[in-house]
Amino acid sequence: RLKDLEVAEVGDSDVRVKMLAAPINPADINMIQGTYPILSPLPAVGGNEGVGEVLEVGRRVASLKPGDWVIPAITTLGTWRTWGVFPEETLVKVPRDIPVLSAATLSVNPCTAYRMLTDFQKLAPGDSIIQNAANSAVGQAVIQIAKAFGIKTINVVRDRPDLPKLVERLMALGADHVITEEMLRKPEMKDLFKSVPKPRLALNCVGGKSTTEMLRHLQPKGTMVTYGGMAKQPVTVPVSAFIFRDVELRGFWVTQWKKDHAQDQESLTSMMDTLCQLIRRGQLTAPVCTEVPLQDYKAALEASMKPFISSKQILIL
């Protein structure tokens, strides 16, 4: 429900923020459904991501001032609101010279893409990676960040009526190859690897057959990182992949990464600086977005749960 609430008083270490824009992510839906590993105590405000402008700061606040743009440093902040008062340590300052939609969608998906590309395999220019759900917000960020780093991407998507349009869009972002899950299983994949080296890293957001097929194309000692399970099916791995190719299976959750690095501000700042530089250079754009006024939140929530929707719903606050 959309409710009017009193905004809390600003304490000594608090920051009053006017929210500008906040996306609807799958994790937000899962939290509302009660199926996410972290749940807010009820009653709660939805939304884990977004950007706002600082209006007022408490007298002990040192890192922020009125006029600054901020994004959440933690999950469960509750960004689907027009105003909020938050403790200083729950916010991260971002530059105001990046587009508002890029700032609103910065703290989850680009961070996930960046960490997966840098933390699991030492990739060099010319190396390749393979990913499924390549048209997701993480997938789009992976394509662009990999392109900026000189890494080739093989991008797997589900077949759909508007496939040529989707392929064209992903290629425009910098994808090297876009294939369907059906093509992934065909012998013709051998031809693709004449022009691109076999990937050392696979990024899995789907599970089920898609995962097993991607694994077949990984180099020996390659790594598959699972960060989602859209098919709601387990990851099935042939024994031969472990014995004869020594592949490694890992998982990634950006919330856990942020918890683990809560005392390591340098890691977070360095990542944000790199991502903001890519945004400024036009090498990392926001995912395709549909802007929806807050009062139309029901339509936005429904649209965000439809299959084959490649546009992220953004609440404009």
Residue 219, domain CATH: 3.40.50.720
For the question of residue 227 being annotated catalytic, the response is no
pLDDT per residue over 7-16, tens digit each? Answer: 899 999 999 9
Q: How far is CA 29 from the centre of its chain?
A: 15
Mean pLDDT of 134-145: 95
Let me know if residue 268 belongs to a domain. Answer: no
* Domain match, 174 and 308 both: no
Let me know if residue 179 belongs to a domain. Answer: yes
Let me know if residue 100 belongs to a domain. Answer: yes
pLDDT per residue over 210-233, tens digit each? Answer: 999 999 999 999 999 999 998 889
Residue that the structure tokens 């290629």 belong to: 171
- What is the model's pLDDT at position 162? 87
Q: Which of 36, 114, 227, 297 is catalytic?
A: 36
Backbone angles phi, psi at 105, to 5 degrees: -110, 25
* Domain match, 89 and 117 both: no
* Domain match, 237 and 126 both: yes
Give the global pTM: 0.93
The total of structural domains in the chain comes to 2
* Domain match, 158 and 234 both: yes
Closest CA to 154 of 136, 120, 115, 127: 127
* Domain match, 127 and 234 both: yes
Residue that the structure tokens 């992976």 belong to: 142
* Domain match, 113 and 249 both: yes
pLDDT at 264 over 90: no
* Domain match, 176 and 237 both: yes
pLDDT at 306 over 90: no
Closest CA to 192 of 201, 183, 200: 183
* Domain match, 99 and 135 both: no
Q: Beta partners for 268?
A: none
Range of the domain at 218: 109-254
* Domain match, 60 and 181 both: no
Domain of 33, CATH number, reads: 3.90.180.10
